Structure 1
């Protein structure tokens, strides 16, 4: 009884500590390497980026296979590790290999690791309800304020932004003017790049006062970019504005995010880190949203469009009700079958103890409470009482046989007397 009480108490504690999710994570143990080289065709991406990465990443330990995908301007390499490999150990090995593989790539191309999430890591989607604010400003709020605020929540791997326009300065060059002023496109790029920087100087001491000298050269407006000199023709400077136009606009988009047919929206996707408790992470994100909302512009608020916590609660509650119903039905069957309340109680009490103890094993194997694991427990309730019934019947049979022997011995003694 003492051992049973200890197991039951330990099991109740394990139930409270067990991770909760709606569905089990059956995704492969993988690390994603993402490389961007905009403007290049898929064939060039395949030959100069994907192929060198795939061939060099195949020699990693505990790797089952490496897959590569090339598309316009982007390369994705999926390194699939064995199921028992620690994901963070795998990411370290991939980073070590990328230090060498990066030398084989074209200049300026840098591969990066994807987030340490899984295929079922998208736990919450939200948009910004910002009436009167254009999509560019909304995306700036999302990228430079909201994203950094939610990124610090424990268990969050990434906040992926979507929708709106990412602001940028664009220089639209006129080829005819380039030819007229005898200026090449690389010269235009070099002029803009070299004039958009900041440099520091030394300390200048004058009397008893020291002055720190620096130059501030970051571009802040369209007019500043237009007046940048590119070259000199007959002692007259040729500026960026002479060979084209400068405008503030959004980066070229490949799609839009429409919310319920009411127009475009800006928001983000909360990606959960590998092996975290989905229900707990969602609660923490919602609590953090309340703090972040205090710093949003007036009239701007969060609008949650997908929340897995509702699915988690409905799924787990449904299985809980099923467990309770099955426990009641099995208990009634045991009582009716045995017709002996003491034996029935000794068997029925095994059900909650066994179910609670099973969560000890779930935590030890890092398995969450989901519709699969809880359904397995529900299906096993009938099996739990089988051994108890068999042992009770066997005990009664042995007792009956022993009682018959005792009665027979008593009868013999009576005859002798």
Structure 2
């Protein structure tokens, strides 16, 4: 094999150039992360049961989902957290070798089987099934420097104007807003009035649901029509209620004497937040915190760059006295770590060139290892997508260690060729003779080192 490439140097050059080009293309497409993806994939199931306590949620929501989820393919374990504010969160942990997309589909199928057993309020709210990440990639905080706006306004500004845009950034899977609940029409009922008039809270809920609807009103002058009629009119009726006054006019009950009992007679209505159990602050001032979660298998650095670009563009449209701060950026550790490893890589190349030049006493002998190292290192990135590797601190550290192996082989071959040239043999013949002598030892060195490291890839679980 070595004789084939020595006699056909153009073929060797073409292969080296192709390896470099394809490897460079793969580098641009590979995901970048601080560490390799070795954590088992998790799927999160969450929903909300308004007004229910933790025990009620466990019995009516969590238990039916857990019963259907039990036994799903490749599941390791599952945990559920039920809170007194009505929130339900379930984490399903799968085997590390599984595909997160397949795991999500399997979990979604099991949740759909349990939906017939869930309360109607839970089904109306919706059960969300999504791939889970343990920690957010970034935290973006909306603030009002002069405290013109409170945390409720800031959180709802984020819900309305930023969340949808951020979820469309490549690499961002989910955005959660902390700081306050979304805007909601709050009905603060008067218990003494309810008891006096014999009205229950479900009566009020039923009245609101029936009268706060979008009702189609049909058309006037639609087919069939008499000859000569030229227009058809679509009737648009009043849609959902919007102001506290409109909600106050909702009729709860018609009394026998003809009078009407309205919501404003038994409750105080105002526009507020859905929940008040979370308050966002930044440096002691009201704020809204946006937690951005990365889509598994994507490039974290590019995702963070996309978020920063979008927030910079959105700042131009912010109302007066609203600004944002990136409170947490996990990619800073990634970029700094990779930058240090790249520095180490170039330092290693410089030391290799210096050592080779000192001992071989020739620029031509020094240039050969320096050309072999970049071709070998860049070409190896072609195999990264095949094995599911990403560009991370561990993979780059492995490349730094591989420099020694590549350089050792190059020095052995170059030194053998130089020795034969000094004996008066022509360069091509010297190369052929040197390769016949050192091919076996070079291959043996590579096999010995491979025998040390390759078996670790067959270890089961996260260790392998």
For the residue of structure 2 that corresponds to 1:280, the secondary structure is helix
1:264 aligns with 2:311: no
Deviation at 1:145, TM superposition (A): 1.3
User: Does structure 2 retain, via aligned residues, the 8 Å contact 1:31–1:113?
Assistant: no
1:197 aligns with 2:213: yes
Aligned residue among 23, 26, 29 for 2:41:
29
Match of 1:219 in 2: 241
- Which 5+ residue runs of structure 2 have no aligned equivalent? 1-11, 426-464
Deviation at 1:318, TM superposition (A): 1.1
Q: Deviations over 1:66-98 (max 9, x none)?
A: 333333323322222333332222222222222
Match of 1:76 in 2: 89
CA separation of 1:17 and 1:242: change in aligned 2, threshold 3 A: closer
Deviation at 1:271, TM superposition (A): 2.0
CA separation of 1:351 and 1:278: change in aligned 2, threshold 3 A: same
Match of 1:409 in 2: none
Q: Deviations over 1:91-133 (max 9, x none)?
A: 2222222221112223322363344453355235242446423
Find the aligned partners of 1:372 and 1:362 in 2 and give their Cα distance. Answer: 13
User: Does structure 2 retain, via aligned residues, the 8 Å contact 1:126–1:306?
Assistant: no
CA separation of 1:257 and 1:137: change in aligned 2, threshold 3 A: closer
Q: Deviations over 1:361-383 (max 9, x none)?
A: 22333322222221222233223
Match of 2:349 in 1: 327
Q: Deviations over 1:358-406 (max 9, x none)?
A: 2222233332222222122223322332333444566688999999xxx
Alignment TM-score, normalising by the size of structure 2? 0.77
Deviation at 1:323, TM superposition (A): 0.8
Deviates more, 1:335-344 or 1:203-212: 335-344
Find the aligned partners of 1:248 and 1:397 in 2 and give their Cα distance. Answer: 89
Match of 2:74 in 1: 62
Aligned residues: 402
Find the aligned partners of 1:226 and 1:9 in 2 and give their Cα distance. Answer: 70
Match of 1:5 in 2: 17
Find the aligned partners of 1:328 and 1:116 in 2 and give their Cα distance. Answer: 44
User: Does structure 2 retain, via aligned residues, the 8 Å contact 1:127–1:305?
Assistant: no
CA separation of 1:84 and 1:68: change in aligned 2, threshold 3 A: same
Deviation at 1:340, TM superposition (A): 5.6
CA separation of 1:11 and 1:232: change in aligned 2, threshold 3 A: closer
Deviation at 1:314, TM superposition (A): 1.9
For the residue of structure 1 that corresponds to 2:40, the secondary structure is coil
User: Does structure 2 retain, via aligned residues, the 8 Å contact 1:195–1:217?
Assistant: no
Match of 2:307 in 1: 285
User: Does structure 1 retain, via aligned residues, the 8 Å contact 2:186–2:269?
Assistant: yes
Find the aligned partners of 2:144 and 2:386 in 1 and give their Cα distance. Answer: 43
Q: Deviations over 1:261-289 (max 9, x none)?
A: 3x121241222222111121222222223
Aligned residue among 360, 364, 379 for 1:357:
379
For the residue of structure 2 that corresponds to 1:216, the secondary structure is coil
User: Does structure 2 retain, via aligned residues, the 8 Å contact 1:57–1:97?
Assistant: yes
Deviates more, 1:333-342 or 1:66-75: 333-342
Find the aligned partners of 2:132 and 2:423 in 1 and give their Cα distance. Answer: 63
1:46 aligns with 2:62: no
Deviation at 1:235, TM superposition (A): 2.5
Match of 1:109 in 2: 122
Alignment TM-score, normalising by the size of structure 1? 0.85
Find the aligned partners of 1:279 and 1:355 in 2 and give their Cα distance. Answer: 22
Match of 2:433 in 1: none
Match of 1:19 in 2: 31
CA separation of 1:112 and 1:179: change in aligned 2, threshold 3 A: closer
Q: Deviations over 1:206-225 (max 9, x none)?
A: 94332222421422222222
CA separation of 1:51 and 1:384: change in aligned 2, threshold 3 A: farther
Aligned residue among 177, 181, 185 for 2:197:
181
1:161 aligns with 2:177: yes
Find the aligned partners of 1:385 and 1:36 in 2 and give their Cα distance. Answer: 60
Deviation at 1:199, TM superposition (A): 0.7
Find the aligned partners of 1:255 and 1:76 in 2 and give their Cα distance. Answer: 17
Match of 2:277 in 1: 254
Find the aligned partners of 1:299 and 1:35 in 2 and give their Cα distance. Answer: 34
For the residue of structure 1 that corresponds to 2:50, the secondary structure is coil
Match of 2:134 in 1: 119
Match of 2:99 in 1: 86
For the residue of structure 2 that corresponds to 1:208, the secondary structure is coil
CA separation of 1:399 and 1:36: change in aligned 2, threshold 3 A: same
Match of 1:240 in 2: 263
CA separation of 1:220 and 1:17: change in aligned 2, threshold 3 A: closer
For the residue of structure 2 that corresponds to 1:215, the secondary structure is coil
For the residue of structure 1 that corresponds to 2:133, the secondary structure is coil
CA RMSD of aligned residues (A): 2.9
